[in-house]
């Protein structure tokens, strides 16, 4: 509940004598899979995950506490530029947030989706800028969705390209690539970052690869003061988790501009003492009638589907039944 969540956040961290801490900023091009990775590391669905770009708006913190170590995940929105914010009418916070998160990080995780041919040919420009501006923060490269790459030797080529052939100060062995004659004519721009401490490969289907990364975080943690009580999972308010999950569904099922124009208002949040579970009633407001019709769907099927799926996700987050009702209105 909100009050429980608040009291957890206000409670003094219950840290052991030999407490260790690590603050991790996960950065990458929009849609690299940052929220999915955060959720896999936390073991519960907290961050908004969708196939559309820019679902994670506020800098939500996930907290993972294992024995004497606390890992704080700074979930950074996909690094973006002022032009893109204007073009997509995105929130201003998208522009400011990633940088503030990175400044307080002890470790940067650069996440690259290798199933996207364009993304894995070079590091995103904003990511490169971020690495160059924080050379004192150790960084690791994480290649995501490696199970979707059929030719495994291609992963070595991608690694070589994105690390400039250098990992942790050592040259990595690269197979010789026969370059076409036109390759020499191209200007010699840097496509990767030569100062990564380590490289990890993650598969969407293999839980062990995420465990390996988690183990790396636990080992990288340094003695320090815990920031949260060990039972805290995210410092988002429960209402924010709810609206985030609903927005994720809107993004998944509705065309490009519609989800971004929908605003939400939570009209009821009631925790049932006797029956158990939580009753939540949310109004969705659209700016155009055409958008309202899309959100409702044929015979109300779309809004019913969104309510059902978001309710199931919320039940998993709160570990109890969530009965979610949605209504759609035109904002006059």
Query: Is 233 within a domain?
Result: no
Classify residue 232: in a domain, yes or no.
Answer: no
Give pLDDT, residue 191.
86
Length of the chain: 332
Domain assignment present for 36: yes
Boundary residue ending a domain (195, 223, 251): 223
Q: Other C-beta atoms within 10 Å of 137: how many?
A: 17
Same domain as 302, residue 208: no
Residue 23 belongs to a domain: yes
pLDDT number for residue 323: 92
Helix (H) or strand (E) holding 279: strand 278-286
CATH number of the domain where residue 23 is located: 3.40.50.300
pLDDT of residue 53: 44
Cβ neighbours, 10 Å, residue 108: 24
Within the chain, which residues score under 50 in pLDDT?
A: 48-60, 80-97, 185-187
Same domain, residue pair 255 and 208: no
- Predicted local distance difference test score (pLDDT) of residue 46: 57
Give the pLDDT confidence score for residue 292 in this predicted structure: 95
Question: Does residue 184 lie within any of the structural domains?
Answer: yes
What is the predicted pLDDT for the residue at 50?
Answer: 45
Q: Which tens digit of pLDDT belongs to each residue from 9-50? A: 556 677 888 999 999 998 887 777 877 788 788 776 555 444
228 domain-assigned? no
Place of tokens 């004192």: 136
Return the closest-CA partner of residue 71 out of 40, 35, 42. Answer: 42
Q: How many domains does the chain have?
A: 2
SS3 322: strand
Same domain, 102 and 175: yes
Domain boundary among 223, 249, 268: 223
Asked if residue 231 is part of any domain, the answer here is no
Q: What is the CATH number of the domain that holds 308?
A: 3.30.300.20
220 CB neighbour count, 10 Å cutoff: 18
Q: What would the DSSP string read from start to end of 114-133?
A: TTSTTGGGS--HHHHHHHHH
**Same domain as 145, residue 18:** yes
If asked whether residues 170 and 249 sit together in one domain, one would say no
CA count, 13 A, side-chain hemisphere, 89: 7
Is there a contact between 52 and 254 (Cβ–Cβ < 8 Å)?
A: no
CA distances to 109, 206, 213, 267, 318 from 216, rounded to whole Å, are: 12, 17, 5, 43, 28
Looking at residue 280, its pLDDT comes to: 94
* Single residue among 174, 192, 223 that ends a domain in this structure: 223
Residues 170 and 288 in one domain: no
* 249 and 110, same domain (yes or no): no
> Per-residue DSSP letters for 54-90?
----S--EEEEEETTEEEEEEEPPPP--HHHHHHHT-
- In this structure, the answer to whether residues 187 and 317 fall within a common structural domain is no
Beta strands 139-144 and 166-167, pairing class: unpaired
pLDDT of 236: 64
Both 273 and 147 in one domain: the answer is no
The answer to whether residues 96 and 8 belong to one domain is yes
Q: Which helix (H) or strand (E) holds 9?
A: helix 2-10
- Both 209 and 248 in one domain: the answer is no
Alpha-carbon distance of 64 to 74, in angstroms, equals 11
In a domain, 183, yes or no: yes
Q: What are phi and psi of 188, to 5 degrees?
A: -90, 75
Six token digits for residue 95: 């522009």
Q: Can you tell me the distance from the alpha carbon of 53 to that of 113, in angstroms, rounded to the nearest whole number?
A: 13
One domain, residues 218 and 252: no
Predicted local confidence at residue 284, as pLDDT: 96
Range of the domain at 278: 238-330
Q: Who's near 16: CB < 8 A, 6+ residues apart? A: 67, 68
Run of H or E residues at 208: helix 207-220
């Amino acid at each position: 509940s909100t009050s429980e969540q608040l009291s957890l956040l206000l409670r003094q961290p219950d840290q052991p004598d030999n407490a260790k801490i690590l603050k991790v900023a996960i950065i990458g091009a929009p849609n690299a899979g940052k929220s999915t990775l955060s959720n896999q590391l936390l073991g519960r669905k907290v961050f908004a995950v969708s196939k559309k770009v820019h679902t994670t708006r506020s800098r939500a913190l996930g907290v993972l506490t294992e024995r004497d170590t606390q890992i704080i995940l700074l979930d950074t929105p996909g690094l973006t530029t002022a032009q893109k914010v204007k073009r997509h009418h995105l929130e201003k916070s998208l522009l400011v947030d990633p940088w503030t998160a990175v400044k307080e990080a002890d470790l940067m995780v650069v996440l690259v989706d290798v199933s996207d041919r364009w993304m894995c040919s070079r590091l995103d420009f904003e990511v490169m800028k971020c690495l160059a501006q924080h050379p004192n923060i150790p960084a690791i490269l994480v290649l995501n969705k490696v199970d979707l790459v059929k030719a495994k030797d291609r992963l070595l080529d991608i690694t070589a390209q994105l690390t400039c052939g250098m990992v942790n100060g050592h040259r990595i062995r690269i197979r010789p690539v026969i370059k076409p004659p036109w390759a020499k004519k191209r200007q010699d721009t840097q496509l990767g970052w030569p100062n990564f401490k380590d490289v990890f490969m993650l598969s969407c289907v293999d839980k062990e690869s995420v465990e390996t990364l988690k183990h790396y975080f636990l080992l990288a943690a340094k003695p320090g003061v815990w920031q949260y009580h060990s039972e805290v999972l995210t410092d988002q308010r429960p209402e924010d988790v709810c609206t985030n999950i609903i927005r994720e569904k809107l993004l998944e099922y509705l065309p490009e501009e519609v989800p971004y124009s929908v605003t939400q208002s939570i009209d009821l949040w009631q925790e049932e003492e006797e029956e158990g579970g939580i009753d939540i009633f949310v109004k969705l407001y659209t700016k155009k009638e055409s958008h309202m019709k899309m959100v409702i769907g044929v015979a109300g099927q779309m809004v019913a589907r969104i309510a059902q799926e978001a309710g199931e996700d919320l039940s998993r987050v709160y570990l109890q039944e969530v009965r979610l009702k949605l209504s759609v209105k035109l904002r006059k």
